[in-house]
Chain A
Amino acid sequence: MATVASKLYSDDVSLLVLLLDTNPLFWSNTSTTFSQFLSHVLAFLNAVLGLNQLNQVVVIATGYCSCDYIYDSSLTLSGNSESGRTGMPALFASLLEKLEDFIVKDEELIKEQEHDERIASSLLSGSLSMALCYIQRVFRSGHLHPQPRILCLQGSPDGPEQYVAVMNSIFSAQRLMVPIDSCYIGTQNSAFLQQASYITSGVHHAPKQLDGLFQFLTTIFATDLHTRSFVQLPKPVGVDFRASCFCHKKTIDMGYVCSVCLSIFCEHHKKCSTCGSVFGQSKLDGASTVSEKKRKAPDS
Chain B
Amino acid sequence: MSDWQVKYKSSLKDRGTEGILKLREGILLFVPNDPTSDSKLKVLTPNIKSQKYTKEGSKKPAWLNLSNKQGDSHIFEFQNYQDMHACRALITKALAKCEEEQPKKPAAVLTSAEQLSIADLELRFKVLRENIELQRLHKEFVETKVLTEDEFWATRKKLLGKDSIRKSKQQVGLKSMMVSGIKPSTDGRTNRVTFNLTSEIIFQIFAEKPAVRQAFINYVPSKMTEKDFWTKYFRAEYLYSTKNTAVAAAEAAEDEELAVFLKPDEILAQEARQKIRRVDPTLDMEADQGDDYTHLMDHGIQRDGTMDVVEPQNGQFRRSLLQDLNRHAAVVLEGRNIDVDSENTRSVAEALARVKQVSKADGETTKDANQERLARMSRLAEMEDLQAPQNFPLAPLSIKDPRDYFESQQGNVVNEPRGAGTLKRNVHEAYGSLKESILEIRTKGLRDPLIKPEVAFEVFRSLTQTISTAKNIIGKNPRESFLDRLPKSTRDEVLHHWTSIQELLKHFWSSYPITTTYLHTKVGKLKDAMSNSYSQLEAMKESVQSELRHQLSLLVRPMQQALDAAFQHYDADLQRRTAKSARGSAGEANGSV
Contacts and interface: CB of A to CB of B under 8 A. Distances in A.
Interface stretch (A5-13, A72-80, A96-104, A172-180): A96-104
Main secondary structure of the interface of A (DSSP, over half): helix
Contacts of A209: 455, 458-459
From B427, B445, B446, name the one whose CB has the most chain A CB atoms within 10 angstroms.
B446
A165 to B, nearest CB: 8
Contact of A27 (B417, B420, B430): B430
Interface in A78-110: 85-89, 93, 96, 99-100, 103-104, 106-107, 110
A161 B414 CA distance: 10
A34 B434 contact: yes
Interface stretch (A128-136, A143-151, A188-196, A227-235): A227-235
A27 B431 CA distance: 9
Interface in B405-445: 405, 408-418, 420, 423-424, 426-431, 433-435, 437-445
B486 to A, nearest CB: 18
A25 B580 contact: no
A40 interface: yes
Interface string A8-52: 000000000000001011011000011110111011000000000
A216 interface: yes
B443 A85 contact: yes
A211 interface: yes
Contact of A233 (B418, B467, B587): B467
| Interface size classification for chain B | 35 or more
Contacts, number: 170
A28 B587 contact: no
Interface stretch (B180-188, B373-381, B469-477): B469-477
A106 B513 CA distance: 56
B528 to A, nearest CB: 23
Given A115-B424, A211-B455, A215-B459, A298 B584 contact: yes
Contacts of A247: 411-412
A39 B512 contact: no
Contacts of B418: 117
A139 interface: no
Nearest to A86: B445
A17 to B, nearest CB: 21
Contacts of B441: 35, 38-39, 88, 96
B277 to A, nearest CB: 52
Contacts of A104: 435
Contacts of B463: 216, 219-220, 234
B427 A87 contact: no
Given A100-B435, A103-B435, A117-B417, A212 B513 contact: no
A106 B522 CA distance: 64
Interface string B549-593: 000000000000000000000000000000010011001101100
A96 B512 contact: no
Given A209-B459, A211-B455, A215-B451, A96 B442 contact: yes
Contact of B413 (A103, A160, A207, A233): A160
B434 A117 contact: no
Nearest to A276: B400
Contacts of A160: 413
Contact of A24 (B434, B440, B590): B434
A237 B512 contact: no
B125 interface: no
B489 interface: no
Nearest to A40: B450
A42 B446 contact: yes
B303 interface: no
A299 B587 contact: yes
A251 to B, nearest CB: 11
Contact of B452 (A33, A100, A211): A211
Contacts of B156: none
Interface of B: 405, 408-418, 420, 423-424, 426-431, 433-435, 437-447, 450-452, 455-456, 458-460, 462-463, 466-467, 470-471, 473-474, 478, 512-513, 580, 583-584, 587-588, 590-591
Interface of A: 22, 24-25, 27-28, 33-36, 38-40, 42-43, 64, 85-89, 93, 96, 99-100, 103-104, 106-107, 110, 115-119, 160-161, 164, 207-209, 211-212, 214-216, 219-220, 232-235, 237, 246-250, 273-274, 283-284, 287, 291, 295, 298-299
16 contacts: A24-B427, A25-B426, A27-B437, A28-B429, A35-B447, A36-B447, A89-B445, A100-B438, A117-B418, A161-B409, A207-B459, A215-B455, A215-B460, A216-B459, A249-B412, A299-B587
